[in-house]
Amino acid sequence: MSLENQTVAADLLLLEALKVSPQSSVAAFLLLLLIYIFILVSNVGLVVLIFCSRSLQQPMYLLLTNMCINDVFGATVTVPHILGDLLAVSSQRYIRYVDCAVQAFCVHLHASVSHTVLMIMAFDRYVAVCNPLRYAAVMTNRTVVKLSAAAWTSAFVLVAILVGLSVRLTRCRWVVFNPFCDNASLFKLSCQSVLINNIYGLGYTVVLLGSSISSITLTYLRIAVVCLSRKNHALNRRALQTCASHLTVYVIMMVSAFIIVVLHRFPQLSEHRKVASVLGHITLPVLNAVIYGLQIKEVRQKIKAAINNLKINAKRFNNVDVNA
């Protein structure tokens, strides 16, 4: 084997794809493709709607665009690759090591930003409910930009160090036991000591989840206390409705992550873990779009208005054709 071929072979990794029968691969491909299209259209549509509508250009909705962008980013990192695998003729799926490292970075960045964005959204709800008179002064456009930048930057730095520690290791294996690459997949390719990786990985998890859980819990406990002490039932109902959407997304995210972590402890359930990993990257983006797009009154009204405008324009177009 030539030196060039040896280099190419060393740079290729074998992905352990989902076990889907040939009869089911087309149906699975079409279903996943439709879900991916829905994620793109719904989340991008929400972002466009928020930025184009003056009435929706409020801190809560502007912060929501971070989640929509992150959902599209997270789904795009994994779903197209899995779609290609479902239609692949060969049973073996390969990926270049550099592409695997980039995908692992993006997968963890998506997960980390999900937590940091929900944290800044919780802060927004805290100010809105607990200090309504100071809300306009505190949650300015400049504050929204700063919070958004902090959410993405902090996640970027944490994940860059996490993946960087894995990339530095020399490789002695070439099989990734996952349908897509993540940090665990990277350092499991090495025969070196991964003690530093484990220590930092534990610290990364404690910092991210600890700050996320503690801030969300304390914020909503404080909101609950304020709502209970008020006698304005209409205002309390609206505040709790908005917070319920936020909490629902957070609980679903934590439960799905917990399921994947538990399944990692049972090697005999590797297929269930792979399916759960894929579902984790498509379920939350779909639910986020549905929950925030249909549960929030202002967004729902804008969607209905946009659909009505499309119907009116379609009727006008048909009338023009008939008259012609």
With both helix axes pointing from N to C terminus, report the angle between 233-264 and 97-130 in degrees, rounded to the nearest 10: 160
Chain segment 10-51, per-residue pLDDT in tens? 588 988 777 777 778 888 899 999 999 999 998 998 898 888
Give the C-alpha separation, 37 to 42, whole Å: 8
- For residues 199-209, one letter each, b for 16 or more C-beta atoms within 10 angstroms of the residue's C-beta and e for the rest, the string is ebbeebeeebe
What is the average pLDDT score of the chain?
84
The low-confidence residues of the chain, meaning pLDDT below 70, are 1-10, 89-92, 232, 234-235, 238-239, 242, 264, 295-296, 298-299, 317-324
Q: Which residues share a beta bridge with 12?
A: 96
Which domains occur in the chain, in start order? Answer: 8-310 (1.20.1070.10)
**pLDDT for the residue numbered 249:** 82
Q: Inter-axis angle of helices 195-229 and 97-130, to 10 degrees?
A: 20
Any residues with CB less than 8 A from the CB of 7 and at least 6 apart, and which? Answer: none
Structure tokens at 204: 């990364």
Cα–Cα distance for residue pair 254/240, rounded to 1 Å = 20
Tens digit of each residue's pLDDT (9 = 90 or more) over 298-309: 667 777 787 888
Task: Give kind and range of the element (H or E) at residue 94.
Answer: strand 93-96
**CA 247 and chain centroid, separation:** 15
Position 313 scores a pLDDT of 80
pLDDT value at residue 323 = 59
- Quote the distance between the C-alpha of residue 249 and its chain's center: 11
Helical residues (DSSP H) of the chain, grouped into ranges: 3-11, 22-52, 59-87, 97-130, 135-138, 141-167, 183-187, 195-229, 233-264, 270-294, 297-323
Nearest to 77 by CA among 27, 21, 39: 39
Q: What is the dihedral of CA 68, 72, 77, 82, to 10 degrees?
A: 130
Exposure of 156 in the CB half-sphere (CA atoms within 13 A): 7
